[in-house]
Amino acid sequence: MMYHLIEKGQATAPELAEKLEVSVRTIYRDVDALSGAGIPIYAEAGRNGGIRLMDGFVLHKAMLSEDEKQEILTALQSINMIQNINDSQTLQKLSAIFNLNSQDWLEVDFSRWGNQVTDNDKFELLKSAVIQQKSIKMKYAGSDGKTSERIVQPLRITYKSMSWYLKAYCTSKQDYRIFKLSRIIELEVMPNTFSKRLIPETHEDLGQNYQRIVLKFPQNMSYRVYDEFDNTQVKQQENGDLIVSVKMPEDEWLMGYLLSFGAKVEIIEPLYLKKVIAEEAKKIYKKNKS
C-alpha cells in the first residue's frame, strides 16, 4: 500500500482494495495499523478525497531488505563509467547510509573501443535530455546513406542487439522514430522543454519494416552466429551447418550487414533478397577487381 501511495500520491480505498485483492474493510484496518506504527498516512473524505501519505514522507532505509539495498548500490556501481556518478559521491553516501560495501563485480562502459570520452559524453547528454524533457538538435547519419539535421524530443534510451538506441518524437516527421546512438554525429541539448509523451504500443518498432530472414552459416562461423543471434533463433543441422531464422529491419543497413559475412552466409529466404545481395556483391567485385 505504501509503495503504491508513494508512486501515485493518493488512492481511494476501493482502488487499493481492488489492486491488493483485499476488502475495503481490510484497507482501512491496514491504514490504522500503519498510522499506529508511526507512518504518516491518513484518509480524507469528500469528492477529491482518498488515502494518502503526508507530503515529504520518505521511506525509511529500514523498509528496504539487505538484498534491495545491495541491488541499489550495484545499479549505481554498474554505471560508474558515466560522469557525475563518482563526482557526486552518491555511491559512497548510500553505502554509508545502508552500512554496506558495494560489490565491485560489474562494469558497464557505454563507449566503443578507442572512443571512450565522446560516447560517454553523448550518453550523458542524452540521459539528461530525457530526464529533463529537453529537445535536442542533432546531425544524424541515416541508413539511407544521407546525413540530416533533426530536432527531436528524446523519450527513452534502450539497448538492443549489442547497440544503444534513442526512442524519440521527431518534430520534422511528426512521428515517433528510433535513432542509433553511434550514428548521432553532432548533438546539442536545447533550452526549451516539451510535455511528457508516452510511446504508443503500436509504435514500439517505430516505423521499422521487419522481414523474416532465414540464413545458413557453416559450423566454423558459430563464434559470430552466437555473438549476434539468440540461440533460440539458431538450429544446428546434422552436418554442422547453422540455420538462423530471425526478423530484421529491411533497409540499407541489412544489405551491409549480410555482406559483412562475405561468402560465409547463404540466404535461404526470402529469395528476392538473395538476388539483391548477389547483385551488390557483383558491384563490389567490379569496383575492386583491379
And the C-alpha cell for 173? 516527421
Q: What is the pLDDT of residue 256?
A: 84
Q: pTM of the full predicted structure? A: 0.51
Q: What is the pLDDT of residue 214?
A: 94
Lowest mean pLDDT across 58-62, 176-180, 235-239: 58-62
Over residues 208-215, mean pLDDT = 80
Q: Hey, what long-range contacts does 284-290 have (CB within 8 A, 24 or more apart)?
A: 284/259
In this predicted model, what pLDDT tens digit does every residue of 98-116 receive, in sequence order?
Answer: 666 655 555 566 566 655 5
Over residues 41-68, mean pLDDT = 75
Q: What is the pLDDT of residue 83?
A: 47
HEC letters along the chain: CHHHHHHHCEECHHHHHHHHCCCHHHHHHHHHHHHHCCCCEEEECCCCCEEEECCCCCCCHHHCCHHHHHHHHHHHHHCCCCCCCCCCCHHHHHHHHHCCCCCCCCCCCCCCCCCHHHHHHHHHHHHHHHHHCEEEEEEEECCCCCEEEEEEEEEEEEEECCEEEEEEEECCCCEEEEEEHHHEEEEEEEEEECCCCCCCHHHCCCCCCEEEEEEEECHHHHHHHHHHCCHHHEEECCCCCEEEEEEEECCHHHHHHHHCCHHHCEEEECHHHHHHHHHHHHHHHHHHCC
- The yes-or-no verdict on residue 81 having pLDDT over 70 is no
245 bridge partner residues: 214
Over residues 44-60, mean pLDDT = 77
In this predicted model, what pLDDT tens digit does every residue of 220-269 receive, in sequence order?
Answer: 999 888 888 888 889 999 999 999 998 887 777 788 889 989 999 999 99
Q: What is the pLDDT of residue 104?
A: 56
- The yes-or-no verdict on residue 217 having pLDDT over 60 is yes
Q: What is the pLDDT of residue 47?
A: 77
Over residues 44-73, mean pLDDT = 73
Q: What is the pLDDT of residue 174?
A: 87
The mean pLDDT of the chain is 80
- CA-wise closest residue to 154 among 184, 133, 172: 133
